[in-house]
């Protein structure tokens, strides 16, 4: 696991500041997310972040005690939004409709939150201590939404019982997670068409064989 250049105290994260401080905090997180996405977490310094938001480096510590805390807040916020996004899918839907909706929501979120999604997918391994534990729980919670949908589909006889549900879940998320890297908005395929095609491919891969 990669280490942060700034030492974390391992304490649970503090709440976001409010009022005018909240706007500056949001600006700081947005600037840091862009830098982490473009340069990578390890290659980005607190000085880089300070320069990006137009403040002295020392002023950053009024809001945050380490670079790792900034990374955690970006990933934590992204996970919270993501979990709410897929959590809105009704568990009572038919298995095929449910997995289609999950794939659609997941890809839609990635394509509309490219910068923070890139940071989550590529830089979360740099988190340590309590930050790491919190993000691991969030990741498990998000992944389980898809795993439960697959298992429910298997139990209903819609999805292939021979498939390992963990592998199937990793296949679905792994395939979808890379869309933001290669999808070209200038291509002759809309986001909606892309999401539908991916949902079609996922369902085709999971479906139980015809007897």
28-46: burial string, b at 16+ Cβ within 10 Å, e else:
bbebbbbbbbeeebeebeb
pLDDT value at residue 211: 65
Nearest to 144 by CA among 123, 126, 166: 166
Query: pLDDT digit string (tens) for 3-13?
Result: 333 333 444 44
Architecture of domain 19-65: Orthogonal Bundle (1.10)
Give the helix, strand, coil percentages of the chain, each rounded to 5: 70, 0, 30
Quickly count: other Cβ atoms within 10 Å of residue 18's Cβ. Answer: 9
- State how far the Cα of 174 lies from the Cα of 66, in Å rounded to an integer: 31
- What tens-digit pLDDT sequence spans the chain (211 residues)? 223 333 334 444 444 554 445 788 899 999 999 999 999 999 999 999 999 999 888 888 888 889 999 999 999 999 999 999 898 887 778 999 999 999 999 999 999 999 999 999 999 999 999 999 999 999 999 999 999 999 999 999 999 999 999 999 999 999 999 888 877 776 777 888 989 999 999 999 999 887 6
CATH node for 69-206: 1.10.357.10
- State how far the Cα of 114 lies from the Cα of 119, in Å rounded to an integer: 9
DSSP state of 185: T
- State how far the Cα of 121 lies from the Cα of 123, in Å rounded to an integer: 6
pLDDT value at residue 13: 46
pTM: 0.84
Domain ranges of the chain: 19-65, 69-206
Q: For the chain, count helices (H), then strands (E).
A: 10, 0
pLDDT value at residue 147: 95
- Sign of the C-alpha dihedral computed for residues 41, 45, 46 and 49 taken in this order: negative
pLDDT value at residue 14: 46
pLDDT value at residue 16: 52
């Amino acid at each position: 696991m990669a280490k942060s250049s700034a030492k974390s105290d391992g304490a649970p994260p503090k709440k976001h500041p409010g009022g005018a401080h909240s706007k500056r905090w949001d600006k700081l997180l947005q600037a840091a997310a862009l830098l982490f996405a473009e340069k990578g977490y390890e290659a980005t310094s607190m000085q880089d972040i300070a320069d990006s938001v137009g403040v002295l480096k020392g002023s950053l510590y009024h809001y945050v005690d380490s670079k790792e805390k900034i990374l955690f807040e970006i990933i934590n916020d992204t996970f919270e939004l993501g979990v709410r996004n897929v959590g809105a899918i009704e568990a009572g839907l038919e298995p095929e409709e449910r997995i289609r909706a999950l794939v659609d929501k997941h890809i839609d979120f990635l394509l509309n939150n490219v910068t923070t999604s890139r940071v989550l997918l590529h830089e979360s391994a740099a988190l340590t201590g309590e930050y790491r534990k919190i993000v691991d729980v969030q990741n498990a919670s998000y992944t389980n939404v898809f795993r439960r949908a697959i298992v429910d589909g298997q139990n209903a006889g819609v999805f292939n019982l021979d498939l390992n549900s963990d592998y199937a879940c990793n296949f679905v998320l792994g395939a979808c997670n890379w869309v933001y890297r290669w999808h070209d908005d200038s291509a002759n395929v809309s986001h909606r068409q892309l999401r539908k095609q991916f949902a079609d491919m996922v369902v085709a891969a999971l479906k139980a064989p015809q007897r």
